[in-house]
Amino acid sequence: MKRIYLDYAATTPTHPEVVEAMSPYFTEIFGNPSSIYSYGQEARGAIEQARASVASLIGAQEEEIVFTSGGTEADNFALKGVAFASENKGNHIIISPIEHHAVTESAKFLERRGFSITRLPVDEYGLVDPDEVRKAITAKTILVSVMQANNEMGTIEPIAEIARITKEAGIPFHTDAVQTVGHIPVDVNELGVDLLAMSAHKFYGPKGVGALYIRKGTRLVPFLHGGSQEGRRRASTENVPGIVGFGKAAELAQAEMNQEAERLSRLRDELINGLLERIDHIRLNGHPTIRLPNNVNISFDYIEGESILLNLDLEGICASTGSACTSASLEPSEVLLAMGLSHEQAHGSLRLSLGRWIADDEIKRVLEVLPGIVARLRAMSPLLKSNN
Ligand code: PLP
C-alpha cells in the first residue's frame, strides 16, 4: 500500500539535496571546527556558511544566530537565559496559553523557582489580542513569549503588533517560529522580535539541530557551560553535518518557499472545504484564513481523534491528533481547550499537515476515505446515541 504522509508539522523527510550536502562532513571533512589545521578550518568554514544562510532566511545578522540541538533547546535557552540574566530587574514573564511544551514547561520550571507567569487569554481562533499583552505588563516584567504560529491548529499570531508594545515597554520579546521558518516569510526586523526559535527538521533539514536568533544587545545567561563555541553562548563541539544540513535547508526554503506556500494553501483549502462539504458535525479549528499554508485541524463530534487516526493508519494515511498521549490517560489538547472547545471536541480533533511531497491525488484519496471512517465510527459511538 502506498503511504500518504500528512504529518509534516511533526517532522519532515530530509531533502535529498540536504543529505548530499551533509554527507562529506561525516567522513571526509570530519575535523573539530575548533582545531586550527585544515580539516578543522574547513568544518569551521562550513558552519559559518550555514550561519549566513540561516541568518539570510530570517533577515538577521550572522552573529545573531546561535546553533542549538533543536527548537526545544532554543525555547529553553530564550526563557531561562533571559530569566536568569534579568533577576535583578524583575521576575514576571508573559506567555500565551497555546505555546509548545518547550515554552510551557520552561515557564513551569521557572515558576517553581520563584518567577511569576501570566498566561494570556486567546480567542476562539487561538489569537492573542495585543492589548491583553499591554494590560499584562508590569514593572517586574522581564520577558514576553508568544509563538508565531501554532503547531496544532495553525493560527498565525500578530507578532509585529505585540513587538511594538514590548519595545515601547523595553521588554525582550521571544517568538517560537519553529512552524513558520522555512514555510512563510519570516523577517526578524519586520517582526521586531528580540529572540526567535527555529528547528531544521520542520523544513526538510535534519533532526537534532536548530537555532536561537538573539538580537544584538539582548542579555541571556548561557545554558551550557564548557568550551567557547558559538561566541561563548553555547558550549559543546558543533554538530557540523547537522548545521550544514540546516544551512542547505534554509537555502532551499528561501528559493522555493513562496511558490510552495501557494501550492500548499490551495491543497489545504481543498481539503478543508472538501471535508466540510462531505461530513456533518465537524468544525475547523484555528483561524479560517490567518493560518499556516500546510495546516488542517478538524474536530469531529461524537468520536475520538485517536480512533480516526488508527483507522487512517489502516488505509496507509499518517496524521495526528491534537491530544497528547500520556502513559496512563489520553489528555485533551490544552491548546484547543484554551480556545474554548469542550473536552469532547478537543478529544475529537485530527491534524492533517501538508508538505513538499504531498500530491493532488493524495488529497483526493483522503477526501474519499475519511467520510467512510467517520460514518463507521459514529455508527458505533455511544456519544452519538446519547446525543440523539
Ligand atoms: N516549538 C514548536 C512550535 C514545535 O512544533 C516544535 C516541534 O514539535 C518544537 C518547538 C520543538 O522543536 P524540536 O523538535 O526541534 O525540539
Q: What are the pLDDT digits (tens) for 85-130?
A: 999 999 999 999 999 999 999 999 999 999 999 999 999 999 999 9
- From ligand 1's centre to the CA of 41, what distance in Å? 31
Which mutation among 179, 198, 334 tests ligand 1's pocket best, with the greatest number of atoms within 8 A of CB?
Answer: 179
Give the strand pairing for 349-353 and 65-68. Answer: unpaired
Q: Can you tell me which atom of ligand 1 is nearest the CA of 9? A: 5
For ligand 1, atom 8, name the residue with the nearest CA. Answer: 10
Q: Can you tell me which atom of ligand 1 is nearest the CA of 10? A: 8
For ligand 1, atom 13, name the residue with the nearest CA. Answer: 71
Q: Of 325, 359, 375, 380, which one is the catalytic site residue?
A: 325
- From ligand 1's centre to the CA of 381, what distance in Å? 34
Which mutation among 77, 178, 294 tests ligand 1's pocket best, with the greatest number of atoms within 8 A of CB?
Answer: 178
Between CA 29 and CA 85 the distance in angstroms is: 37
Residues with CB under 6 A from ligand 1: 70-72, 75, 100, 102, 147, 151, 176, 178-179, 199, 210
Total H helices, total E strands in the chain: 15, 12
Question: What pTM was computed for the model?
Answer: 0.96
- From ligand 1's centre to the CA of 378, what distance in Å? 33
Between CA 109 and CA 134 the distance in angstroms is: 24
Q: Can you tell me which atom of ligand 1 is nearest the CA of 75? A: 10
pLDDT of residue 344: 87
pLDDT of residue 381: 80
- From ligand 1's centre to the CA of 6, what distance in Å? 17
Between CA 148 and CA 98 the distance in angstroms is: 11
SS3 content of the chain, % helix, strand, coil (to 5): 45, 15, 40
What amino acid occupies position 175?
T
Between CA 321 and CA 331 the distance in angstroms is: 11
String of b and e for 216-251 (b: at least 16 CB within 10 Å)? eebebebbeeeeebbeebbeeebbbbbbbbbbbbbb
| Residue listed under C-alpha cell 541571556 | 220
Per-residue confidence in pLDDT tens, the chain, 388 aa: 889 999 999 999 999 999 999 999 999 999 999 999 998 999 999 999 999 999 999 999 999 999 999 999 999 999 999 999 999 999 999 999 999 999 999 999 999 999 999 999 999 999 999 999 999 999 999 999 999 999 999 999 999 999 999 999 999 999 999 999 999 999 999 999 999 999 999 999 999 999 999 999 999 999 899 999 999 999 999 999 999 999 999 999 999 999 999 999 999 999 999 999 999 999 999 999 999 999 999 999 999 999 999 999 999 999 998 655 543 456 888 999 999 999 888 888 999 999 999 999 999 999 999 999 999 999 998 766 555 4
Task: Give pLDDT tens digits for 245-268.
Answer: 999 999 999 999 999 999 999 999
Which mutation among 7, 12, 67, 151 tests ligand 1's pocket best, with the greatest number of atoms within 8 A of CB?
Answer: 151
Q: Residues 6 or more apart from 330 whose CB is under 8 A from it? A: 304, 306, 323, 347
| Known active-site residue 318 | no
Task: Give pLDDT tens digits for 313-338.
Answer: 999 999 998 655 543 456 888 999 99
- From ligand 1's centre to the CA of 100, what distance in Å? 7
- From ligand 1's centre to the CA of 236, what distance in Å? 21
pLDDT of residue 276: 98
Look at residues 176, 186, 174, 216 and name the one whose alpha carbon lies nearest to residue 58. 186
Which mutation among 72, 106, 203 tests ligand 1's pocket best, with the greatest number of atoms within 8 A of CB?
Answer: 72
Q: Can you tell me which atom of ligand 1 is nearest the CA of 201? A: 15
- From ligand 1's centre to the CA of 356, what distance in Å? 19
- Orientation angle between helical segments 360-379 and 240-278, nearest 10 degrees: 60
pLDDT of residue 326: 40
For ligand 1, atom 5, name the residue with the nearest CA. Answer: 151
Which residues are bridge partners to 149 per DSSP? 156
